[in-house]
């Protein structure tokens, strides 16, 4: 299972690419040099999932401005992703790649696969331009995520990468004060 601080091994899978309205191969190594947000979700044609993907779609341009690509992942096929995109008003807004993992191999690699159900836990991974996982979150499938919070975490990850020796305190946002790592801070915060 991939953990924070580890480099994601290369993998390839079918994906539906809504911007081109086509199904093709997605190779994760093609995204090296960019930030990647992998958004695992249980299944197409469900309840919470379209609300999350719709919200990610609404923030997509903000993610792109940060040099990031969003890739959604479920155990559905690319053809099911296409059908969902064609029929759901919420999913019609999605322009990012929708990765297909019907055998659960990618979900198992990231530790999100629910063996007894054949679906994924709801999980988010932020991967830096070197392919290293810098953030991971996984939770019960009945709880939806916040695209705004994922974007905030991406921005914090970018900030600390670009500013060695600096860390971001709770709820840090761009423009707010960060902390310089120093023994002088110990016991004073």
In this structure, what are the phi and psi dihedrals at residue 22, rounded to the nearest 5 degrees?
A: -145, 160
In this structure, what are the phi and psi dihedrals at residue 139, rounded to the nearest 5 degrees?
A: -155, 180
State the catalytic residue, choosing from 8, 49, 80, 154.
49
Q: Residue 49 catalytic? A: yes
Q: How far apart are CA 75 and CA 81, in angstroms?
A: 10
Q: Are 159 and 174 in contact (CB under 8 A)?
A: yes
Tens digit of pLDDT for each residue in 96-134? Answer: 999 999 999 999 999 999 999 999 999 999 999 999 999
Query: pLDDT confidence of 189, banded at 50, 70, 90?
Result: low
pLDDT value for 188: 62
What CATH number has the domain spanning 12-144?
Answer: 3.40.30.10
Q: Which parts of the chain fold into alpha helices (H)? A: 48-65, 78-87, 105-110, 147-162
User: Does this model's pTM top 0.75?
Assistant: yes
Boundaries of every domain in the chain = 12-144
Q: Are 94 and 54 in contact (CB under 8 A)?
A: yes
Q: How far apart are CA 32 and CA 37, in angstroms?
A: 12
Q: How far apart are CA 15 and CA 19, in angstroms?
A: 12
Q: How far apart are CA 59 and CA 3, in angstroms?
A: 26
Tens digit of pLDDT for each residue in 42-93? Answer: 999 999 999 999 999 999 999 999 999 999 999 999 999 999 999 999 999 9
């Amino acid at each position: 299972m991939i953990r924070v601080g580890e480099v994601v091994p290369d993998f390839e899978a079918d994906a539906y690419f809504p911007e081109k309205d086509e199904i093709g191969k997605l190779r994760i190594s093609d995204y090296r040099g960019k930030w990647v947000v992998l958004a695992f979700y249980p299944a197409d044609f469900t309840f919470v999932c379209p609300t999350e993907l719709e919200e990610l779609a609404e923030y997509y341009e903000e993610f792109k401005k940060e040099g990031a690509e969003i890739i959604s992942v479920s155990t559905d096929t690319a053809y099911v992703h296409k059908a969902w995109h064609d029929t759901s008003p919420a999913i019609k807004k999605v322009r990012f790649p929708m990765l297909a993992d019907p055998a659960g191999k990618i979900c198992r690699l990231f530790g999100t696969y629910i063996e007894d159900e054949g679906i994924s836990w709801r999980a988010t991974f932020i991967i830096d331009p070197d392919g290293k996982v810098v953030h991971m979150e996984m939770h019960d499938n009945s709880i939806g995520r916040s695209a705004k919070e994922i974007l905030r975490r991406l921005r914090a990850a970018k900030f600390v990468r670009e500013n060695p020796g600096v860390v971001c305190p709770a709820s840090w946002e761009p423009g707010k004060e960060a902390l310089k790592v120093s023994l002088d801070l110990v016991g004073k915060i």
